[in-house]
Structure formats: C-alpha cells, structure tokens
Structure 1
C-alpha cells in the first residue's frame, strides 16, 4: 500500500531548506526509497511549510528514514525551523489521476459500432489531434468523431491499456489494439482477419480535465501487413 508522510514546520529560511533538500536528493541517489516529494507554502502564512513525501509502502519509508544521510539532513532541517516539525503518517486509500482517467475514458468509448459518441466530456471543442497516418491534423470534435467512425466501420475492436503515466497536464498511454477486420478500411475490403497493433498516445489536458491535444505513434505498417495490403518486410 502506498504510504505518504506529511511533514509540517514553520521557517523563515525556505531558500536554505530547499538547498538542504537538494543536497539530500544528491547524497541519497540510488539509495532512497521515496518516489515523489512536494513542498508547499501556506498562502495565508508564508512561514508555514508543508512537505508531502510518497513511498511505495510504509516499510520503504522506514528504510529511507534509516539512511544516515536522511538523519543528518533531518537534524539540519530542524535547525532551520522556528519550532519542531510535526509528522503525520498516512496510508493511501485512494489515488486517482484525474487526467489519466479522462484518457482512459476515450479508449473505453472509442470502440463500438455505428456513430461515434459525443465525446463532450472527453475533448474540448477545438481539440487538435496529431496522427502521422493522416495527411492533415484532425481539429475539432466533429472531425474526431468522423475519424473514430472510420475505425468503427472497419473493425470490431477494443483497446488494452498496458501502461499509463501522468505528469503535469500530460498523460502518456501505451496501448494494444485488438480488432477483427469486418468492414472496409482505407479502401481494403473486409478480410475477417484478427489483427493487433501497439501504440503510444500523449494527451494534453486542460485545467477542467478535458483533453485539448493528442500525439499518436503506432504500428500502422504492421497493421497493413496483417490486412494483406503490404508484403512483410525482411531484415
């Protein structure tokens, strides 16, 4: 279970504390077990500093605390504080990356037959799609729906999400496409062939949680070979 430690202190020497933390990061490289750290300043009280440190588990946090470098840095941090820091130990019971959830929703809604869904809760109205398989970028919700309907018309398909990572306003999704070629696709008559294709998509999200832009990389050449439109390449 993911474990989070909440550290609160009061200090007027935040710059020195930041330099101290930089030194700890350098000294514990390759040894520390912390995976994520956020330092925040109270907007209503600039001396009130909160640090949130994330670990894979409580046991990992304890191993991190046992590092001699951590103990030395802690003593120096206490010296920079106006009063003794307080610690709150938290077991994470829910961790939802909301931008990532929006990206997953697209991959859930895209498969199906017939007309594409509205996608109003997924994309902004002027969504911009960068797909190397298209001569021109796809821009706008109506264009996105038409693009999805091309795939719906050609395949009975689904996506498997293999990996997903979110940072800032970007979400990167590594996926596998599974489909059966049941209709005409890019001029290729239906073959009934079962196909798979791997790819990666990076989405940029807006503060309200919708997707504003997307960049696609996928094995379109491999897909065409499976459909018999291209001869397999030989190394």
Structure 2
C-alpha cells in the first residue's frame, strides 16, 4: 500500500533548509526509495512549510528513515526549524490520478485566443507527438508549439471533449473541434467558413503528470472538403 508522510515545520531559514534537502537527496542517491516529494509554502504564513513525501509502502519509508544519512539530515533539519516539526503518517486508501483534468486543460489551452500560453505545466520537454497527417513525428515542446501555432494561425477554434477514458498513465479523449477559417492553412487562403471536425487523441503521461506522448486521429479530409479544397477534384 502506498504510504505518504507529511512533515509540517516552521522556519525563517528556508533557503538553508532547501539546500539541506538537496544534500540529503544527493547523499542517499540509489538508497532513498521515495517516489515523489512536494514542498509547499503557506500563502498566509511565509514561515510555514509542509513537505509531502510518497513511498511505495510503509516498510520502504522505514528503510529510508533508518539510513544513516537520513538521521544526520534530520538532526540538521530540526536545528533549522523555529520549533519541533510534526510528522503525520498516512496509508493511501484512495489515489486518483488527475490526468483526465490535465488532458482537458491541454485542449482548452491550445484553443485559447490571443498569444499561446506556456505549455510547460502540460507537456514534457521531450514530448513525442504522433499525427498521421505529418510525414515525421513532432518531437519536443518547441516543435509542438510550432505545430499548434500553425493551426492557430489558420483558425480560431475550440475543442469540446465528448468522452474520456483514463487507465494507468493514459487518457483517451473523443472530441469535437469547431473553428473559423481566418488565415492561411495548408496553402488555402482564409475563407471565413465555419468548420467542424471530430477526432480522438490518446495522451500518455509521465511521472510528473505532464503529457509525454500523444496519438491523434481526426477527419482531416472532411475538414479540407469543408474548406473547398476538394471542389476542383470533384469537378
């Protein structure tokens, strides 16, 4: 069973404590079995900090606590606190990955009007995009931003997520895309037409909760027909 420990402390020397935690991570590299750690600062009290550390099990957490390096760092950490820190031990009885919500936020973000917002909190730096309409896969965040910008230059658009199925590190999304053709797209000058397209995207998430890989399937031929690109062929 996954185990989580909450460390609640007050300190006016957080920078020193932060460096101390870096030292702990370095000294226990290869020995420490924590799988995730988050440090949060109280918005209403700048001296109040809580660290949340996750382990695969209580037994693994105890092994971590018994490391000589952990004992030394703990004594130094207490010395940096304004008062004795408190520890809360929790067995995780329900663990919901919020990947589906992140997937929805991804669709909302790339459809935002105006300047494209940062994607750092949504996709990984080494993001890998599979789109059958492209000759080569899109690799990396910068390349993905260029791909999204190409669509945004051609259309004002928004996604409506119709269905989502989440399992392990993947979320399958069935969506409807609606846009207005406002600029050049695939060599077609703006027509002002209202267009609609349906599709499915599967996102794979990394350990940090960001999208690491995506597979897209959508009715691009139908979109081009709505834009009039197939009229000459039909004639």
**TM class, shorter-length:** 0.5 to 0.7
Q: What residue is the counterpart of 1:215 in the other structure?
A: 215
Alignment root-mean-square deviation, CA: 2.7
- Change in Cα spacing, 1:207 to 1:231, as seen in structure 2 (3 Å) is same
CA contact (8 A) 1:114 1:153 kept: no
Q: How does 1:187-226 map to 2 (within 5 A)?
A: 187-226=187-226
Distance in structure 1 (CA, Å) of the matches to 2:206 and 2:199: 23
Deviations 1:121-156 (A, max 9, x none): 001101000001111110011111111111110111
Distance change (3 Å), C-alpha of 1:226 and 1:208: same
How much has 1:208 moved relative to structure 2?
1.3
SS at the partner of 1:108?
helix
**Distance in structure 2 (CA, Å) of the matches to 1:149 and 1:113:** 11
The equivalences for 1:52-201 within 5 A come to: 97-201=97-201
Task: Report the 3-state secondary structure (helix = DSSP H, G, I; strand = E; otherwise coil) of the residue aligned with 1:187.
Answer: coil
TM-score with structure 1 length normalisation? Answer: 0.58
- Tell whether the 8 Å contact from 1:129 to 1:138 is kept in structure 2 after alignment: yes
Deviations 1:201-231 (A, max 9, x none): 0010012100100000000000000000014
Q: Does the C-alpha gap of structure 1 residues 203 and 123 become closer, same or farther in structure 2, counting only changes over 3 Å?
A: same
Runs (5+) with no aligned partner, structure 2: 1-55, 60-93
Partner Cα separation in structure 2 for residue 97 and residue 232 of structure 1: 49
Contact map agreement 1:225 1:232 (CA 8 A) in 2: no
Q: How far is 1:159 from its partner?
A: 0.4
Query: Residues 188 and 96 of structure 1: is their aligned pair in 2 closer, same or farther, counting only changes over 3 Å?
Result: farther
Q: Distance in 2 between matches of 1:184 and 1:223?
A: 14
Counterpart-to-counterpart distance in 2, 1:139 and 1:42: 36
CA distance in 2, matches of 1:233, 1:218: 21
TM-score of the superposed pair, with normalisation by structure 2: 0.58
- 1:84-139 per-position Cα deviation (integer Å, ceiling 9, x unaligned): xxxxxxxx9xx964111111111010013454222000011010000011111100
Question: What are the within-5 Å matches in structure 2 for residues 8-19 of structure 1?
Answer: none
